[in-house]
Amino acid sequence: MNKIEKLIAELCPNGVEWKKLGEVCDFQNGFAFKSNLFKDSGLPIIRITNINGKNVDLNDLKYFDPLDYKEDLEKFKINKGDILIAMSGATKIGYYDVEDIAYLNQRVGKFSPKKEILNNRFLYHFLNLNYQKIFSLYDGGTPPNLSSIQLMEKIFIPIPPLPIQEEIVKILDTFTALEAELEAALEAELEARRKQYEYYRNKLLTPVEHNGRWYLNGKEVEWKKLGEACELEYGYTDIAKKEGNVRFIRITDIDENGKLREIDPKYTELKEENKKYLLSKGDILVARTGATYGKTVLFNKDYEAVYASFLIRVKLNKTILSSYYWHFAQSNYYWKQAKKMVGGGAQPQFNANVLKNLQIPIPPLSEQERIVAILDKFDALVNDISQGLPAEIEARRKQYEYYRNKLLTFNKK
């Protein structure tokens, strides 16, 4: 028999009492701070966007000056250990875990458990367990909103003796701490591998001049403008659809690492008019406008796809490997050129007339293959960690949820 089982047998052998949430804790709705009076410094305001389902996210904080308000704002203070809830949109619970005092904005609520009968971390874990039940209380508006009266009257919570609550909290907090430690460790490992990858990519792809000649890694290079080594073709104008018989690749489908996103793909119908936009393995696509200008992806998929009009297809000749060019297009040397070529316009344009003048150092094919082999290994390592990170975290989260469900299930008296 474990410690919790012993405590239950000793302190509540016949089950535990369940009470309305409003009987065991107080609740405070937020204050309607005026957005036109938000400051960049002062006293921090916790808005609905700062609640992330775990803790309270202190990024993108807004501030206020108390001299701007005549109201007494004392009851809207948030202290370390307070439990907050988003009262609009999706149900999100947040635990405020910092020393600095903050203030509740409208559409954010604060729970204040009665300490003599309810442990605040026990309440926190219970609320996270029951977020779907809480969401069922929301009205049908857009966005849906939660009534604090309904919340406090219709949600029932088990109230085991405090020693049992405290023991349950120790176990569940251990799981959440392990999850946080794992996430931090994996993020640090990923960041280290990314920096290592970037270092070698820039080292291998930055040409060096010696006696009027240019070299990459000791191999002499030939300089060519991109327009001399490829054909450039603009994409197809169409409306992206949820269904179709070919994928429709758009500018937003290129991620920050130059990879093709597979989340939420869009489609179109293949017709005679758009067959010429069908991609072949080894085609390069470049974003030509806006904040994502210059982002480059190598298409290496087995499915059929056409590409949208804000992309340029680069079909290289046999002097340049597509994979070599893709790695080059991620390097600092490439981006220095790209930024100079688009200038400082509000809407940067990296169109075909600009792109064709991009200078590329072209070593022998054998050296291109060597560079690609090295950088592909780094890319695969970073990709493996990137994909494995959410899977590892999800496994920990499921373990926590399993024990949370088990530990917070009680027989009623």
Could you confirm whether domain 222-362 is CATH 3.40.50.300?
A: no
| Cα–Cα distance list, 340 to 100, 127, 184 (Å) | 44, 53, 37
pLDDT, mean of residues 215-238: 93
The chain-wide mean pLDDT, for the chain, equals 90
Per-residue pLDDT tens for 325-358?
Answer: 999 999 999 999 999 998 766 677 889 999 999 9
Question: Can you tell me the mean pLDDT for 107-136?
Answer: 92
Q: What mean pLDDT is predicted for residues 362-369?
A: 95
Which has more pLDDT, 209 or 346? 209
pLDDT in tens, 155-169: 999 999 999 999 999
- pLDDT value at residue 1: 44
Q: Domain limits of the chain?
A: 17-158, 222-362
Listing DSSP states for 146-179 in one string gives --HHHHHHH-EEEE--HHHHHHHHHHHHHHHHHH
Question: Which pLDDT does position 407 carry in this prediction?
Answer: 86
Confidence of residue 131 (pLDDT cuts 50, 70, 90): confident
CATH match for 17-158 among 3.90.220.20, 1.10.287.90, 3.30.70.2080, 3.40.50.300: 3.90.220.20
Determine the pLDDT at residue 345. Answer: 62
Two domains, one topology: 17-158 and 222-362: yes
d(C-alpha 238, C-alpha 309), whole Å: 8
Query: Is the whole-model pTM more than 0.75?
Result: no
What pLDDT digit, counting tens, does each position of 7-49 carry?
A: 877 787 777 899 999 999 999 999 999 999 999 999 999 999 9
Of 40, 69, 58, give the one whose Cα is nearest residue 102.
Answer: 58
